[in-house]
Chain A
Amino acid sequence: MNTNIDMSNKEYSDYVEKKATNSPLLKNIFWAFLVGGIICMIGQAITDVFLKFGFPKEQASTYTTIILIFLGAFLTSINLYSKLGKFAGAGSVIPITGFSNSVVAPAIEFKTEGYILGLGANMFKIAGPVLVYGVTSSIIVGFFYWLIKIFL
């Protein structure tokens, strides 16, 4: 019996890929679209209510953001958001509620290591990179916007 597997790393990787079950792409896309869409509709509904009560548009959308962040954090704390994320995938990760989830989840998890080095240091473990590159790219875009405005 041969004790070595007669394959190169590349051959083995290709073979494994062929054998492995792929993610159910269509199903995942469908649920992501549905749940992501519903979250956005809820956001729109909240904005509309504020507008109806006479708030200016900018204020209404700020309040909506705050409410959605609260909802995401609340659902995370009662262990519902992770269940939603299981089938909604990107649908619940991309909206602002997902951002809230990605901050609250490590905050809960790392509480055992104390408020400073645990919760404080790890809270932005997942959201941190989003902030770093979000802020960086907005500065770059802003710079070009400013340049274009000078010449036009």
Chain B
Amino acid sequence: MKIGSQTIQLENTPKLLQTASMVGPKEMDGPLNQFFDLHTDDVFLGEKSFEKAESKMLEQCVNHLLSKAGMNNSMIDYIFAGDLLNQCISSGYAIRNLNIPFIGLYGACSTFCESLALAASFVNANYGKNIIATTSSHFCSAERQFRMPLEHGNQQSPTSQCTVTGTGAALVVPNSSSIHSLYITHVTFGKVIDFGIKDMTNMGAAMMPAAYSTITTHLQDTKRKLDYYDAIVTGDLGILGSELLVDQFQKEGYDISHIHKDCGVLIYDKEKQDTHCGGSGCGCMASVFSGYFFEQLKSKKMNKILIVSTGALMSPLSIQQGESIPSIAHAVAIENEV
């Protein structure tokens, strides 16, 4: 049921049954390493190209999710998936082997919430019983598409972020009293917002207004207050973007510094890992949510969170043509009780 201007209330409260995550070596060196299910030390995963490696990582993660949930691929109705590469090849090639109906999505780094929101909406509407939402990103495949070759000796801007090599997958099922898991209660789809930032090395600043718009619209639509949530988790605003978001709420008279978390800030240790403003990419929120936040909710350390993944909808081409960076954010509310 649609409520307010942009939010869907999932009146049948689908459940988030299980998640799985997989990350690369740099993420395993970071502070969240104990929360990830799978990891690889080899950025190639034994493949010949980084694109194939990313695909393989996504496939392994989905297979791990199925085994954790005690299911096989014939029991899955649909899979919503996306990544950063042109024509979403990581997802398409990975799902080719899985034999599950596939809905490919692109929302840049906002794709995780986009796919989770759509999966939850599908289950809520009874279009399917077991639906997977998953996204991936790989540092090396993203670098070569968006930036310079890896071996090129150059300096990064202090506002730049590092694409996470990681993937996360979540399984959404219909509400049933026999299943003890989390509820997905609301989803809010964001508008495309552009404040004229043109610097591709400062995505946090470009994406902050989108995150702000989606969070405030979500609160307005659901008539909830900020302190309703134990945490408001953004995807990859990074250190600067997070600071700008906290500041923006401050200007409106709200202090969110104690409940705001950002997956891009959490995943790396800035001082030790030289990651400038933090992590980014589709795999950033996917792996951090599926690994860390799912665990926090399961163990009741948190009970209600709003996850907001943020995406910058530019391409290297549009940047070369002098365009600014339009951004988007989608939000999903996940709660222990309804």
Contact = CB atoms under 8 A, between A and B. Distances in A.
B219 A1 contact: yes
Contacts of A21: 158-159, 240
Q: Main SS of chain A's interface residues?
A: helix
A93 interface: yes
Interface in A76-133: 76-77, 79, 81-89, 92-93, 98, 101-102, 104-106, 108-110, 112, 125-126
A23 B157 contact: yes
A1 B152 contact: no
Nearest to B152: A105
Contacts of A82: 150-154
Given A109-B144, A112-B48, A112-B49, A85 B219 contact: no
Nearest to A108: B151
Interface of A: 1-5, 7, 9-10, 12-13, 16, 19-24, 28, 76-77, 79, 81-89, 92-93, 98, 101-102, 104-106, 108-110, 112, 125-126
A3 B153 contact: no
Interface in B176-220: 195-197, 202, 205, 209, 212-213, 216-217, 219-220
A20 B154 CA distance: 20
Contacts of A98: 153
B248 interface: yes
Contact of A101 (B153, B195, B252): B153
Interface of B: 48-51, 144, 148-159, 195-197, 202, 205, 209, 212-213, 216-217, 219-220, 240, 243-244, 247-248, 252, 254, 324
Given A16-B205, A19-B244, A22-B158, A105 B151 contact: yes
B248 A5 contact: yes
Contacts of B254: 1
A20 B202 contact: yes
Contacts of B49: 112
B152 A85 contact: yes
Given A81-B153, A105-B152, A20 B195 contact: no
A1 B151 contact: no
